[in-house]
Structure 1
Amino acid sequence: MTTLFVTVGLPGAGKTTRARRLARDHHALRLTPDDWMIPLFGEPEAGGGRDVLEGRLLSLALDALRLGTNVVLDFGCWSRDERSAIRGLAESTGAVCRLVYVPVDEATQRARIAHRWSTAPEDTFPVSEADLARWRTQFEPPDEAELLGHGTDAPPAGWPGWAEWAADRWPSFP
């Protein structure tokens, strides 16, 4: 069965390293926004450009799943709603969605980000202590039931389905 692997975690957790391994081991297409943002825009967010890019990559992932290609979506997926939307969309193609949570403690996260910046600044972006603190408050770690794939949450109130929610979250998602 075709599988969508979704990496979940904060910057510096090791998501992209895990995503590369998953892509190799499962003959999967790996879609990582960070691989595109710096070459295209020279920065990680680009005034909302990241959300636009993620919407296009999500659409490409669903097309690949429909064609029978495994996909690794390396977004980070900080919110349960994002993960539920992606799971629901993947399941609508007949694929299985597997969350791959990569937790990281603060000291390891700081060390990895500092190492990345010192060894490959052209492939990364600066991260401040304020960024790290803010991101930790925004991140919603998945619980055991979510990691085991027990059902997909219903969309938030006011949304008829996950496709509509996703089109609002990722403006370029069709």
Structure 2
Amino acid sequence: MTMLFLTVGLPGAGKTTRARQLAKEHSALRLTPDEWMIPLFGEAEADGKRDVLEGRLLWLGLEALRLGTNVVLDFGCWSRDERSAIRWLVASVGASCHLVYVPVDHETQRARIVRRQSTTPDHTFPMSEADLLHWRTLFQEPDAAELEGHQVGGPPPGWPGWREWAADRWPSLV
């Protein structure tokens, strides 16, 4: 059975390093939006284009799974709903999903980001101390049930299914 590895964590946690390891270990296609945003748009967010890019990368990942290729999706996935939608989509194509949570304490995160910005400024984007603190308040840490791969529950209230929720979250998915 093909596998999608979904890296979960904040900027500077080491997700991309771990994603590269997983791709090598499992002969997997690695999809990392950060590596596309700056070359394509010159910035990390670019007026909503990141959501469009993530949708296309997610679509590509699902196609690769259908064809029998393992995938590493290096998105970060801060919300439980994002992770649940991706897990549901992966199951819908007959593959399995493994969440790879990469936690990081604030001091380590800050040091890694400062080092990244000083050594490879053309491969990263500005992140202030205020950004880092704010992002920690938005991040929903995966619980044991998620990490163990328990069944995905239903979508948030008002949504008929995860496919519809995902199509709204990532407009270019469908």
Q: Please tell me the TM-score bracket, short chain as reference.
A: over 0.9
* Percentage of pairs with the same residue: 75
Aligned mates of 1:127, 1:81 — CA distance in 2: 25
- Structure 1, gaps ≥5 residues long: none
Q: Deviations over 1:36-65 (max 9, x none)?
A: 000001100000010000000000000000
Match of 2:163, SS state, is: helix
Tell me the CA shift for residue 34 of structure 1.
0.3
Provide TM-score, normalisation by structure 1. 0.99
Instruction: State how far apart, in whole Å, the 2-side matches of 1:145 and 1:162 are.
Output: 18
- 3-state SS, counterpart of residue 6 of structure 1: strand
2:114 — aligned with what? 114
Aligned CA RMSD, in angstroms, stands at 0.5
The equivalences for 1:1-174 within 5 A come to 1-174=1-174
What is the distance in 2 between the residues matched to 1:14 and 1:86? 21
Count of residues in Structure 1 that have an aligned counterpart in Structure 2: 174
Distance between the aligned counterparts of 1:51 and 1:130, measured in 2?
Answer: 23
Instruction: Specify the code of the residue in structure 2 equivalent to 1:101.
Output: Y
> Following superposition, which runs of at least 4 residues in structure 1 exceed 4 angstroms of deviation?
none
Q: In the aligned structure 1, how far is the partner of 2:115 from the partner of 2:153?
A: 38
Taking the aligned partners of 1:134 and 1:144, their CA distance within structure 2 comes to 24
SS of corresponding position for 1:72: strand
Q: Secondary structure at the match of 2:55?
A: helix
- Report the Cα distance in structure 1 between the residues aligned to 2:95 and 2:172, rounded to whole angstroms: 22
Any stretches of 5+ residues in structure 2 without a counterpart? none
Q: 1:160 deviation in Å?
A: 1.2
